[in-house]
Amino acid sequence: HRNEDKPKAIDLSHHLSNVSKARKTSPLKGLQRYAGKEGVVQMAGGFPSPAYFPFSELSAEGLIPDSFPLSPTSSSTSAFSWLLKFFQGSKISEKTTHLTIPKYPAGPNDLNLAASLQYGMAKGAPQLQKILDELVYKVYKPAYKDSVILVHAGNTDAWFKCVQTFCNPGDGVLVSEWTYPSAVATMVPYNIKPVAVPMDGLGMSSVGLRKILEKWDESTSGMPRPRVMYIVPIGQNPTGATMGIDRKQEIYDICVEFDVLIVEDDPYYFLQEAPYVPRSERSATVRFNNDEAYLSSLVPSFLRYSIDYQGRVIRLDSFSKTIAPGCRLGWFTCNSTFAERFERQGETTTQAPCGFGQSIVTALLLNWGYDGYIRWLRALTSQYQLRRDFILDCLGDEFHLKLDYETSGVWSGCDIYRAYDKAPADVAFNEKLGAIKPMFSLVPPTSGMYIWLQLHLENHPSFGSVGDGETLEMQLWIDLAEAGVLFAPGWMFSAKEENTDAPGEGHFRISFSNADFEVMKKAITTFGVVIRKFFEKQ
Ligand code: PMP
Ligand code: PLP
Q: pLDDT tens for residues 478-528?
A: 999 999 999 999 999 999 876 656 667 899 999 999 999 999 999 999 999
From atom 12 of ligand 2, which residue's Cα is the shortest distance away?
Answer: 155
Q: Indicate the pLDDT class of residue 286, thresholds 50, 70 and 90.
A: confident
Same domain for 307 and 416, yes or no, is no
Identify the domain boundary among 350, 385, 420: 385
- Burial readout 486-502 (b: 16 or more C-beta within 10 A, e: otherwise): ebbbbbebbbeeebbbe
Same domain for 350 and 445, yes or no, is no
Q: Indicate the pLDDT class of residue 79, thresholds 50, 70 and 90.
A: very low
Mean pLDDT of the chain: 91
As a whole number of angstroms, the distance between CA 525 and CA 483 comes to 11
91 pLDDT more than 60: no
Q: Which helix (H) or strand (E) holds 367?
A: helix 355-398
- The CATH number given to whatever domain includes residue 258 is 3.40.640.10
Residue 71 is predicted with a pLDDT of 67
Identify the domain boundary among 327, 360, 385: 385
Residue 163 is predicted with a pLDDT of 98
Same domain for 411 and 312, yes or no, is no
Peptide bond into 50 cis (omega under 30): no
Contacts of 224 (CB under 8 A, 6+ apart): 170, 171, 172, 218
**Is residue 29, in this structure, part of any structural domain at all?**
no
- Burial readout 307-345 (b: 16 or more C-beta within 10 A, e: otherwise): bbbbbbbbbbbbbbbbbeeebbbbbbbbbbbbbbbbbbb
Same domain for 306 and 407, yes or no, is no
Same domain for 347 and 262, yes or no, is yes
Give the residue among 150, 117, 106, 110 at the shortest CA–CA distance from 47: 117
Same domain for 298 and 345, yes or no, is yes
**Is residue 36, in this structure, part of any structural domain at all?**
no
From atom 4 of ligand 1, which residue's Cα is the shortest distance away?
Answer: 46
Total number of domains in the chain: 2
Same domain for 403 and 443, yes or no, is yes
Based on its alpha-carbon atoms, the radius of gyration of the chain, rounded to whole angstroms, reads 25
Same domain for 112 and 233, yes or no, is yes
Note whether 384 and 514 are within 8 A (CB): no
As a whole number of angstroms, the distance between CA 390 and CA 523 comes to 12
Cα-based angle 266, 493, 216 (whole degrees, multiple of 5):
85
84 pLDDT more than 80: no
**Is residue 5, in this structure, part of any structural domain at all?**
no
Q: How far is the CA of 490 from the centre of ligand 2 (A)?
A: 17
Same domain for 70 and 153, yes or no, is yes
SS3 call for 503: coil
Taking residues 89-117, what's their average pLDDT? 88
Same domain for 370 and 439, yes or no, is no
Same domain for 213 and 195, yes or no, is yes
Kindly report, residue by residue over 24-64, the tens digit of the pLDDT: 987 766 677 787 788 888 888 889 999 999 999 999 999 99
Pocket probe for ligand 1: among 121, 349, 351, 354, the residue whose CB has the most ligand atoms within 8 Å is 351
Residue 76 is predicted with a pLDDT of 40
As a whole number of angstroms, the distance between CA 439 and CA 459 comes to 7
**Is residue 278, in this structure, part of any structural domain at all?**
no
**Is residue 9, in this structure, part of any structural domain at all?**
no
**Is residue 472, in this structure, part of any structural domain at all?**
yes
Q: How far is the CA of 156 from the centre of ligand 2 (A)?
A: 6
**Is residue 22, in this structure, part of any structural domain at all?**
no
Residue 78 is predicted with a pLDDT of 44
Same domain for 377 and 393, yes or no, is no
Q: Choose the weakest-confidence range: 82-91, 208-217, 253-262, 290-299.
A: 82-91
- The CATH number given to whatever domain includes residue 512 is 3.90.1150.10
**Is residue 232, in this structure, part of any structural domain at all?**
yes
Q: Which ligand is nearest to the CA of 44?
A: 1
Check residue 116 and report its DSSP letter.
H
Q: Which domain range does residue 295 map to? A: 44-272+289-385
* Cα four-point dihedral sign 304, 309, 310, 311: positive
With a 6 A CB cut-off, is 154 part of the ligand 2 pocket? yes
Q: Choose the weakest-confidence range: 348-352, 354-358, 393-397.
A: 348-352
Identify the domain boundary among 385, 416, 449: 385
